[in-house]
Structure 1
């Protein structure tokens, strides 16, 4: 059981880091380029599509691995009755927010991209991708807090 828990934790941390990193890269590097009109619509569409696909896959992997970890480390009482449990529940809420914000950002960008526009779709999607960036940063902060074993026992 220790090996399975180790694998699940490793996959969870790896996917979480890659997922949050890809959202941060998109929002801080790709999105400003698109808002300035310095990228072709087809390239912007390809990148937003890949980010959305990756976000969906990462979301499923995070749910599966995080669910396993929560199930093996917490009881219902400890999830709702301890500081560490509250951090885990916060991660779940942030995970849902990140997933939803990336999805809505893609939907907002998709309409204008179909018309071969870049600036307007990027502007319409920006608040959602920037919100996703905030959720990603908060996820990393909560993960860091959970990695401190003496915190919030």
Structure 2
């Protein structure tokens, strides 16, 4: 069982780090480039699509691995009645919010991209992707607090 727990914890940390990092990279590097019109519509659409697919897959992995870790490390009482449990539940809520923001950002960007525009779709999607970046930072802070 220790090996399974180690694999789950490692997978959880690696996927979580890659997911939050990809959202931050997109919001801080790709999105400003698109908002300035310095990227082709097809390239921006491809990056948006890949981020969305990665986000969907990562959210499933995070839910499965996090569920395993929570199930083996916490009881219902300790999840709802301790500071560490509240951090775990907060993390779960933040993962759902992150997934939702990436999905809504995709929908906002997709409309104008069908017309081969870049600036307008990027502007419409920006609040959602920037919100996702903020949530990604909050997730990393939450994970850091759980390390103590």
TM-score, normalised by the number of residues in structure 1: 0.96
Instruction: Measure the CA separation in 2 of the matches of 1:76 and 1:122.
Output: 42
SS at match of 2:117: coil
Q: How does 1:1-153 map to 2 (within 5 A)?
A: 1-148=1-148
CA RMSD of aligned residues (A): 0.3
CA displacement, residues 57-81 of structure 1 (integer Å, 9 cap, x when unaligned):
0000000000000000000000000
Q: How many residues align?
A: 148
Shift of 1:108: 0.2
CA displacement, residues 78-135 of structure 1 (integer Å, 9 cap, x when unaligned):
0000000000000001000000000000000000000000000000000000000010
Shift of 1:50: 0.1
Instruction: Measure the CA separation in 2 of the matches of 1:74 and 1:99.
Output: 24
Shift of 1:27: 0.2
TM-score, normalised by the number of residues in structure 2: 1.00
Deviating beyond 3 angstroms after TM superposition, the runs of 4 or more aligned structure 1 residues are: none
SS at match of 1:50: helix
SS at match of 1:58: helix
SS at match of 2:116: coil
Aligned to 1:151: none
Instruction: Measure the CA separation in 2 of the matches of 1:147 and 1:18.
Output: 18
SS at match of 1:115: coil
